[in-house]
């Protein structure tokens, strides 16, 4: 079974969704470790309650970004993961770290990338007056929030929406598509082609068909 290490900074709601999917048998993977850059991240308690080993590395205690990244990589490698999952990890990772895990480091971002990279995505979506918003699972590359897209989920932006209402509706879709993307990875169905992700699906005759990237609406 595929081994996952999950990186968090806060409440870890996507971590909880992954743990639930694994427990239900819909995600062929096991979370073997949860790491946080904040010792008081509530998600650490969620992981501990599920019997998952945890570790906190406070980035403020390190001399610079590279020193933190080195310590984080050593902690990750101690769990021997097949895939490293960012789930609300609010820390920019350096180029060397990202390249170390190239092709096995993924993130979920609360917007339809490439729109609204960075922070405050729901507030910015409302300010721009977009009619469709959503979330994106993507491979992580050195360019912030611009890695190859695995899957997206879209939600309508309603005239009555405020930031909290829109965020809640997007978060529900995050909990839906993150386990899905990881299951595709575990099943070996993801293919990178010229910087884009294609989804391989098994045909009835046992062959493999490379299908376009799925966009869930």
Q: What is the DSSP letter of 53?
A: -
Q: What is the DSSP letter of 68?
A: H
CA dist 173 and 136 (Å) reads 10
HSE of 119, CA atoms in CB hemisphere, 13 A? 4
Catalytic residue among 109, 122, 133, 175: 109
CB 142 within 8 A of CB 95: yes
For the purposes of burial, counting CB atoms within 10 Å of the CB of 63, is it exposed (0-12), middle (13-18) or buried (19 or more)? Answer: exposed
Is residue 109 among the annotated active site residues? yes
First vs last Cα of the chain: how many Å apart?
A: 29
* Structure tokens that stand for 136 in this block: 């994106």
CA dist 163 and 148 (Å) reads 27
CA dist 183 and 193 (Å) reads 19
Q: What is the DSSP letter of 61?
A: G
Residue linked to tokens 């080993």: 53
Catalytic positions are 109
């Amino acid at each position: 079974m595929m081994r996952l290490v999950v990186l968090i900074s806060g409440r870890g709601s996507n971590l909880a969704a992954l743990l639930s999917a694994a427990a239900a048998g819909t995600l062929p993977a096991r979370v073997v470790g949860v790491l946080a850059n904040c010792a008081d991240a509530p998600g650490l308690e969620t992981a501990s309650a599920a019997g998952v080993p945890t570790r906190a590395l406070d980035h403020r205690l390190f001399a610079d970004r590279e020193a933190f990244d080195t310590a984080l990589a050593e902690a990750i490698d101690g769990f021997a993961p097949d895939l490293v999952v960012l789930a609300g990890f609010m820390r920019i990772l350096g180029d060397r770290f990202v390249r170390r895990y190239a092709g096995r480091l993924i993130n979920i971002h609360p917007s339809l990338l490439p729109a609204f990279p960075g922070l405050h995505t729901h507030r910015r979506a409302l300010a721009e007056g977009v009619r469709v918003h959503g979330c994106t699972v993507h491979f992580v590359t050195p360019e912030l929030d611009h890695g190859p897209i695995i899957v997206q989920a879209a939600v309508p932006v309603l005239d009555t929406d405020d930031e909290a209402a829109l965020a809640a509706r997007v978060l529900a879709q995050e909990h839906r598509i993150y386990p899905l993307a990881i299951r595709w990875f575990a099943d070996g169905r993801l293919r990178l082609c010229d910087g884009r992700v294609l989804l391989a699906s098994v045909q009835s005759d046992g062959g493999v068909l490379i299908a376009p990237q799925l966009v869930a609406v």
